[in-house]
Amino acid sequence: MKGFVSILFFLGISTSPILSQTLVEPNQNFVWESFSFVFPEPVVVKLESTTNKKLTVYPAKRDGFFMIVRTLPWNEPLIDKTLWKDSVFTRGIEPKTFPKTLGNLNFQVFQADQIRNQNALRNQVWICLDSKPALWIWIQWKSDRKDLNEFFESNRFLSL
Protein backbone atom coordinates (compact mmCIF):
# COMPACT_ATOMS: atom_id res chain seq x y z
CA MET A 1 0.00 0.00 0.00
CA LYS A 2 2.86 2.37 0.84
CA GLY A 3 4.27 1.93 -2.69
CA PHE A 4 0.85 2.69 -4.22
CA VAL A 5 0.57 5.95 -2.27
CA SER A 6 4.13 6.87 -3.30
CA ILE A 7 3.25 6.26 -6.97
CA LEU A 8 0.13 8.44 -6.66
CA PHE A 9 2.20 11.19 -5.03
CA PHE A 10 4.92 10.89 -7.71
CA LEU A 11 2.33 11.17 -10.49
CA GLY A 12 0.83 14.25 -8.81
CA ILE A 13 -2.48 12.56 -8.04
CA SER A 14 -4.00 13.86 -4.82
CA THR A 15 -5.55 11.46 -2.34
CA SER A 16 -6.92 14.36 -0.28
CA PRO A 17 -10.71 14.91 -0.22
CA ILE A 18 -10.18 18.68 -0.67
CA LEU A 19 -9.03 19.06 -4.26
CA SER A 20 -9.60 22.78 -4.77
CA GLN A 21 -8.62 25.10 -1.96
CA THR A 22 -7.26 28.59 -1.42
CA LEU A 23 -5.67 30.25 1.60
CA VAL A 24 -7.22 33.65 2.31
CA GLU A 25 -5.54 36.06 4.73
CA PRO A 26 -7.49 38.12 7.32
CA ASN A 27 -9.24 41.27 6.08
CA GLN A 28 -8.53 40.33 2.45
CA ASN A 29 -11.53 40.62 0.12
CA PHE A 30 -12.44 37.23 -1.30
CA VAL A 31 -14.85 37.45 -4.25
CA TRP A 32 -17.09 34.53 -5.11
CA GLU A 33 -20.09 34.64 -7.47
CA SER A 34 -20.04 38.47 -7.37
CA PHE A 35 -20.19 38.47 -3.54
CA SER A 36 -17.28 39.77 -1.50
CA PHE A 37 -16.35 38.18 1.83
CA VAL A 38 -13.83 39.10 4.53
CA PHE A 39 -12.66 36.73 7.27
CA PRO A 40 -11.38 37.50 10.80
CA GLU A 41 -8.37 35.15 10.57
CA PRO A 42 -6.56 33.06 7.93
CA VAL A 43 -8.99 30.59 6.34
CA VAL A 44 -8.98 27.80 3.81
CA VAL A 45 -11.67 28.21 1.17
CA LYS A 46 -12.93 25.16 -0.69
CA LEU A 47 -14.86 25.69 -3.92
CA GLU A 48 -17.34 23.20 -5.33
CA SER A 49 -19.27 23.41 -8.55
CA THR A 50 -22.27 21.13 -8.36
CA THR A 51 -25.86 21.86 -9.34
CA ASN A 52 -25.78 24.66 -6.77
CA LYS A 53 -22.43 26.35 -6.40
CA LYS A 54 -20.94 25.98 -2.93
CA LEU A 55 -18.16 27.67 -0.95
CA THR A 56 -16.91 26.16 2.33
CA VAL A 57 -14.69 28.17 4.69
CA TYR A 58 -12.54 26.62 7.45
CA PRO A 59 -10.10 28.38 9.81
CA ALA A 60 -6.49 27.71 8.76
CA LYS A 61 -4.84 27.86 12.19
CA ARG A 62 -7.39 27.20 14.94
CA ASP A 63 -10.94 25.99 15.21
CA GLY A 64 -13.80 28.19 16.22
CA PHE A 65 -16.00 28.67 13.17
CA PHE A 66 -16.95 27.52 9.72
CA MET A 67 -19.07 28.95 6.96
CA ILE A 68 -20.94 27.41 4.04
CA VAL A 69 -22.21 29.63 1.25
CA ARG A 70 -24.50 28.34 -1.51
CA THR A 71 -26.30 29.80 -4.44
CA LEU A 72 -29.98 28.92 -4.56
CA PRO A 73 -31.54 27.69 -7.80
CA TRP A 74 -34.89 29.40 -7.22
CA ASN A 75 -36.21 32.86 -6.47
CA GLU A 76 -38.38 31.89 -3.50
CA PRO A 77 -37.85 28.92 -1.18
CA LEU A 78 -40.16 26.07 -2.06
CA ILE A 79 -41.00 25.37 1.57
CA ASP A 80 -42.23 27.40 4.52
CA LYS A 81 -39.47 29.81 5.59
CA THR A 82 -39.73 28.69 9.21
CA LEU A 83 -38.41 25.27 8.16
CA TRP A 84 -35.05 26.81 7.17
CA LYS A 85 -34.03 27.15 10.82
CA ASP A 86 -35.14 23.58 11.60
CA SER A 87 -32.92 22.24 8.81
CA VAL A 88 -29.80 23.71 10.47
CA PHE A 89 -30.61 24.26 14.14
CA THR A 90 -31.02 20.85 15.70
CA ARG A 91 -32.35 21.55 19.19
CA GLY A 92 -31.67 25.27 18.80
CA ILE A 93 -31.76 27.38 21.97
CA GLU A 94 -33.81 30.59 21.70
CA PRO A 95 -34.19 30.62 17.91
CA LYS A 96 -35.05 33.97 16.41
CA THR A 97 -35.54 35.49 13.00
CA PHE A 98 -34.82 39.06 11.97
CA PRO A 99 -34.30 41.08 8.78
CA LYS A 100 -30.95 42.69 7.85
CA THR A 101 -30.30 45.15 5.06
CA LEU A 102 -26.75 45.49 3.75
CA GLY A 103 -26.28 47.91 0.88
CA ASN A 104 -29.16 47.22 -1.49
CA LEU A 105 -29.64 43.59 -0.39
CA ASN A 106 -32.24 42.38 2.09
CA PHE A 107 -31.46 39.30 4.15
CA GLN A 108 -33.60 37.17 6.41
CA VAL A 109 -31.40 35.94 9.27
CA PHE A 110 -32.21 32.89 11.36
CA GLN A 111 -30.19 32.61 14.58
CA ALA A 112 -30.00 30.07 17.41
CA ASP A 113 -27.53 28.83 19.97
CA GLN A 114 -26.70 25.15 20.30
CA ILE A 115 -24.77 22.81 22.55
CA ARG A 116 -22.85 20.27 20.49
CA ASN A 117 -20.05 18.02 21.74
CA GLN A 118 -19.86 20.10 24.94
CA ASN A 119 -19.31 23.30 22.91
CA ALA A 120 -21.61 26.32 23.08
CA LEU A 121 -22.21 27.35 19.47
CA ARG A 122 -23.92 30.26 17.75
CA ASN A 123 -25.56 29.57 14.39
CA GLN A 124 -26.81 31.99 11.79
CA VAL A 125 -28.38 31.31 8.42
CA TRP A 126 -28.58 34.29 6.07
CA ILE A 127 -30.93 34.09 3.08
CA CYS A 128 -30.95 36.74 0.37
CA LEU A 129 -33.39 36.42 -2.49
CA ASP A 130 -32.72 39.95 -3.84
CA SER A 131 -29.43 38.92 -5.42
CA LYS A 132 -28.90 37.01 -8.64
CA PRO A 133 -28.14 34.26 -7.87
CA ALA A 134 -30.03 33.98 -4.59
CA LEU A 135 -27.68 33.45 -1.65
CA TRP A 136 -27.73 31.15 1.40
CA ILE A 137 -25.04 31.51 4.11
CA TRP A 138 -24.66 29.28 7.16
CA ILE A 139 -22.19 30.41 9.83
CA GLN A 140 -21.42 28.49 13.00
CA TRP A 141 -18.92 29.65 15.63
CA LYS A 142 -17.97 28.94 19.22
CA SER A 143 -19.81 31.34 21.54
CA ASP A 144 -16.79 31.75 23.82
CA ARG A 145 -14.86 33.35 20.93
CA LYS A 146 -15.95 36.94 21.67
CA ASP A 147 -13.93 38.20 18.68
CA LEU A 148 -16.07 36.03 16.40
CA ASN A 149 -19.33 37.11 18.09
CA GLU A 150 -18.56 40.74 17.32
CA PHE A 151 -17.24 40.00 13.82
CA PHE A 152 -20.18 37.94 12.56
CA GLU A 153 -22.96 39.74 14.42
CA SER A 154 -21.82 43.12 13.09
CA ASN A 155 -21.93 41.73 9.50
CA ARG A 156 -18.25 42.41 8.84
CA PHE A 157 -17.91 39.14 6.89
CA LEU A 158 -19.92 40.60 3.99
CA SER A 159 -18.11 43.52 2.39
CA LEU A 160 -20.85 44.86 0.13
Which has the closest alpha carbon to 156: 66, 37, 71, 64? 37
pLDDT above 60 for 19: no
pLDDT in tens, 111-157: 888 887 777 889 998 988 888 888 889 999 998 888 898 889 888 89
Average pLDDT over residues 7-32: 64
Neighbours of 19 (CB within 10 A): 9
pLDDT of residue 20: 66
How many alpha carbons fall within 13 Å on the CB side of residue 12?
A: 0
pLDDT above 60 for 76: no
CATH number of this structure's domain 17-153, picked from the four choices 3.40.50.2300, 3.40.1000.10, 3.40.50.720, 3.40.190.10: 3.40.1000.10
How much is the pTM? 0.77
